[in-house]
Structure 1
């Protein structure tokens, strides 16, 4: 090895060691809180809404959204937000409208950012006509304290968790985010994900359930639908845990279909190479299962 090459290797090694030492020292001083390295400045702002409203519309990008009840007789919105990308909150046509007001210049987009905007909406009453949320990467959390006639959420990587009751229509569309619906009642339910998992637990649905995923798995635990259960996946597994519907239709490619139902069904199964094990019952609603290579294993509570 030439002397020049050796010198450059030694210099490079020294620079790496020094850089690592500076990084470790800085992070130790910051208690390894990466948010303190952010070049964007974040502030916490609160917005009071004194007008009454029955509908809620929220349009954000990366903001986590959470709802909480309040004992006050008015709504308030608290946001941890970028000082150059603040939110606005106002009431128009009986609708609370929350959205981003982006005042960033081009150079404000250059920098390091480890912080996540967070929004908490404090609602003075429990019942509302509609809730619409459009979010890209922020998560959404709706507790059991609230009920809506209609609820619609659209997102990309957003995780969605809802315990709110919805008397008419609930529709959730996300790409890679997970969807978790728990301990509630819903009129009609439509869920669409790409790679996100869907978990439903302890839910009564008074009409139909329609769930579509690509690689995400679908798990139904203690879910009862008065209407149809229509579940479609590509590679995701479908699992029934003491769940049921008047009629059930499952279509998957490589995903397995398994679990336990509450009532007897008339089973129609179709698979290319997968194994099939279902009860030989001749009464009850239709349960049609179609897979390519996925296995089918279904039992009925005796």
Structure 2
């Protein structure tokens, strides 16, 4: 290969790599505005002002900024206080609880939970989350701390009359069991719903909201689409979980609230519903779930 050909090949490879990491183009605006029910603006590259402007331009006019530890929960509360389209959820992520317990035992976990309780009293904080169980990243040695933390968050959501936002990964049976044992809050949201159609029917029977993310668009996600088909429109939410779970065909590129329309349109196809009809359901459901 000649030096010039080698140079061209290198340049083409670099261009492809840059394109693969570039933000996806904005989708067509939605016919009816909706909310991104779960995002992490603190983990995204654009400034908050830019992220909110891009979202509003395509019909995503409200975002729920979610904390995963005490520091990020404080950031969520501060950001919600500063920006009208933003509401906050505060909690210790299920993987944060065993980390704290391993570092400082029950005392350190209790101290962090007390900090979350202080934040929960703020008017811009509408939810306790994301809390729950995650057996994918945490082994058996962390299960007890996760259960303890999850039960504490359930109790806090009920006592403060806030929505409970659940992270459930590879732990469906235990999440449902603990909710039954503790008594679920009146407004309970399964963030990034990952169960099957049978679980969706259980959630529907109990009045739990189910929020679907960009992974519902993935080729191997037919079980998720089956669950979506089984879920009643009155309990559906949409989210990005940005910067994670970018919907197809942009998988692997940065996710952000402005990409909600891509996921919502895929949801509408899976439900066999007009886009605007589903958007109206989702908008009303999110306001009802979070109480704004």
Structure holding more strand per residue? 1
Answer yes or no: same fold by TM over 0.5.
no
Compare relative contact order (CA 8 Å, sep 6+) and give the higher one, 1 or 2. Answer: 2
TM-score, length-scaled by structure 1 = 0.26
TM-score, length-scaled by structure 2 = 0.27
